[in-house]
Amino acid sequence: RVRERERERGNVLSSVVMKAAVRRSTSTIVARGHATSRVVVARGGLGGRSKTHAHPSLASTSTFGVNGGKKAASTSVKAVQDAPSSADMGSGSGNIEKPTVLVAEKLGTAGIELLEKYANVDCSYDLSEADLLNKISLCDAIIVRSGTQVTKEVFAASKGRLRVVGRAGVGIDNVDVHAATENGCVVVNAPTANTVAAAEHGIALLCSFARNVAQADASMRSGKWERSKLVGVSLVDKTLAVMGFGKVGSEVARRAQGLGMKVIAYDPYAPVDKAKALGVELVDFDEAVARGDFFSLHMPLTSSTDKMFNAEVFKQMKKNAVLINVARGGVIDDQALADALDNEEIAGAALDVFTVEPPPADHCLVGRPNVVLTPHLGASTVEAQEGVAVEVAEAVLT
């Protein structure tokens, strides 16, 4: 009862430590926080078709690898209150040293201010790998975006002090989850704050490609007037195949319907009732590939989804098909996509994410007239950045 009263006053913020076995093909991350944080258990996405091998909070833009959206009762999460550097955070006692949180990439002001109430905050951006390894042993938690790799070497260099890794965003593929598990380190993310921003950017890329907006702008900037050359296509009555019907995918579906598009979706773990409520038809992968005019990709990057869109898949698509990707670059085989474009097997692509970011100047998809590229802007709105900052700060502190 005393602990509950302290929690209500907001004076006790406990760290959470995962207790999970690392199995040969299972990576397990457990995180607990406020209502906006998530318990994360990643189990290889589409590798196992059975829903019994999945868990509800995959920390991705999709419900791939989730068990019908309901939390599995067997998940065990234990709050540990005896960690000297992270227990009773913000308790107000002068005898307890505040934990140190390293913010390794730019974070919104609201998130920094929240962290500073309960921790010593070290904002050190653009650290080299060597600098990160030298600094991490002085930190109880680290917050990163997508640019910093939290590898097994980082966990080793922390010498057991690192308790929490916070990912300011959705995907956690830049964190070595096996090493986190072995070192008893919690991995948390911010899975909800940038949902709308990512969906809006997906729709922006869709419209930009359909109406040649990027090409027209480049043409005008070079002093040309190529009105007859830049004829686009209408979106109304076209079929959008949403590949991954999670938070972002469902928001994209809503907006596409507002444009008069027919929406189908592929996601073996998406609840049928949810799709029906949104007027979306759930189909299998092959049917989605065959029917789609536009494809909006929203699955996580796992061993099962790596290069999911490859040469074989492109050959099954319509010749007017267009790929829109605001999920993860690795789900597309870049060279296979370039070959498909060269062979006119599909019409084009609009990409916000890449296997290696930034992509090299000689990347096979850079500089093509039928490919629209943006530098990972899916979550780059003022509102989303502040929301993500607060969400990940809350998750780390809890």
Query: What three-state secondary structure class fits 363?
Result: coil
From residue 99, alpha-carbon distances to 92, 158, 251, 397 in Å are 13, 14, 38, 10
All residues at 6 or more sequence positions from 281 whose CB lies less than 8 Å from its CB, including other chains: 263, 264, 265, 275
Question: Which single residue is written with the structure tokens 């530098």?
Answer: 375
- The whole-angstrom distance between residue 390's C-alpha and the CA centroid of its chain comes to 16
Question: Which single residue is written with the structure tokens 């480049």?
Answer: 218
Catalytic residues: 328, 357, 376
Q: Which of 104, 102, 93, 162 is nearest to 128 (CA)?
A: 104
Q: What are phi and psi of 361, to 5 degrees?
A: -60, -30
Q: Which of 318, 319, 310, 317 is nearest to 339 (CA)?
A: 310
Q: Report the alpha-carbon distance of residue 304 to residue 34 in Å, rounded.
A: 30
